[in-house]
Amino acid sequence: MSRISFLRQNSPRKLLLAMGLLLAAAAVAVGSGADFNSTSANPSNVLSAGNISQSNSKGGAAILTASLMKPGATTTGTVDIKNTGDIAGTFTLAKSNVVDTPATPAFSAKLTLDIDDMGDPACTVSCPAAVNKYSGTVGSMGTIALGSFAAAEAHKYRFTVTFPNGTPATDNVYKSAAMSVQYDWTSVS
């Protein structure tokens, strides 16, 4: 107490200066030792969309054609479908634009169709067995699930159409009959 009285009596300025220094020292002591701090950053976050696309080895052309078929005849054709995108896609196959001439009896209801997945078109040795994806008449085919294709994955499909051999009474109604059909390949991610 004698020091403060001494400072106050001799110099009020010194007293104020001493008090200010004490307050500043107390603030530094309290402010510097009471908190912990940590930071981290995640810079340069970049997002981009993938691409799904496909190639068709017979794009814009028929997979198979046959003229002058007779009962018991079979014709085949193949097509390669490839996921040319950079992400996996789910592929399907459907028919459209079926035209029967004459409309009845519908030749598409008589002709049988088998669609087999032959696997990787590049496979030449020890290839897996073909997997049947559809077996029925051309006209009754709906949408066929082909599965997921990874980026750059390709499959060869074999189409086999047969004019079943019946009796002359059942087959004669199809004399000069014709039909056409379009096959549509779809991929979605």
Has residue 34 got a pLDDT over 90?
no
Residue 41 has pLDDT above 80, yes or no: yes
Interatomic CA distance for residues 152 and 90, integer angstroms: 13
Mean of the per-residue pLDDT values of the chain: 89
Give pLDDT, residue 133.
98
What is the pLDDT confidence band of residue 35, given thresholds at 50, 70 and 90? confident
* Structural domain spans, the chain: 2-29, 54-188
Q: Which is more confident, 159 or 16?
A: 159
Topology, domain 54-188: Jelly Rolls (2.60.120)
The answer to whether 170 and 88 are in contact (CB under 8 A) is: no
Between the two ends of the chain, the Cα-to-Cα distance in Å is 84
pTM summary value: 0.77
Alpha-carbon distance of 79 to 158, in angstroms, equals: 7
Q: Please tell me the distance from the alpha carbon of residue 135 to that of residue 172, in angstroms, as a whole number.
A: 24
CB atoms closer than 10 angstroms to residue 33: 7
Average pLDDT over residues 92-100: 97
Residue with the bigger pLDDT between 50 and 133: it is 133
